[in-house]
A and B are shown apart, each in its own frame.
Chain A
Amino acid sequence: SQQGEEDPQALSIQEGENATMNCSYKTSINNLQWYRQNSGRGLVHLILIRSNEREKHSGRLRVTLDTSKKSSSLLITASRAADTASYFCATPLIFGTGTLLAVQP
């Protein structure tokens, strides 16, 4: 079954810095999605990238997709304390293990 594996598992940065999270998956996909989860809350959709796209932007988010390497990355620029959350990739129904991002004010 498809499974995303994110790395790093945890990331701690200072406000204003950029955060990069990576996701690898095993099988072919039609699209890949990134979600965010605040502790104990539901997941919120951030961005969807289709298999024929290589890069996509949404505000401070930048997602890349390399289908030949079966990998994706999520970049959050100019991070804020409010970005503190867990971030998951989904391929597209199966979720990865997540990266816990902590942004220190």
Chain B
Amino acid sequence: EPEVTQTPSHQVTQMGQEVILRCVPISNHLYFYWYRQILGQKVEFLVSFYNNEISEKSEIFDDQFSVERPDGSNFTLKIRSTKLEDSAMYFCASSQFGGGLPGELFFGEGSRLTVL
């Protein structure tokens, strides 16, 4: 069964360092998303991506964050200068449909980021 894969599963970094989280969405999906979940809290929407550009982003997704689809398979989230409060689980998701009528989101298992 096709699945969304994320790497790394866990990354520990020092405050101020840059981090890149990687995702391989399901191959025939066109819409891609990043979410984050601080321990014990709700799942927060960061950004959605379609046709090589950001289609929607939340207030959380500030200039510190960027997303990229560098090739036909990977979808990355870059955090430029990490802060302690960036420590969270980051989830990638993809869907076949999106825009005004998004369908089922398929989630990866997440990348846990710990900022020291």
Q: Are B105 and A42 neighbours in the complex by a CB distance under 8 Å?
A: no
Decide yes or no whether A45 CB sits under 8 A from chain B. yes
Tell whether A25 is near chain B: CB-to-CB under 8 Å: no
Q: For the complex, give the distance between the alpha carbons of A95 and B44 in Å.
A: 7
Q: Which of B19-78 contact A (CB under 8 A)?
A: 33, 35, 42-45, 48, 56, 58
Is A81 close to B, CB under 8 A?
A: no
Who on chain B is nearest to A5 by CB? B42
Further 19 A-B residue pairs, CB within 8 A, beyond A42-B107, A42-B109: A33-B104, A33-B105, A35-B105, A42-B4, A42-B91, A42-B108, A43-B43, A43-B91, A43-B105, A45-B105, A48-B103, A88-B42, A90-B105, A93-B33, A93-B56, A95-B35, A95-B44, A95-B45, A97-B42
Interface residues of A (CB under 8 A from B): 1, 30-31, 33, 35, 37, 40-45, 48, 88, 90, 92-98
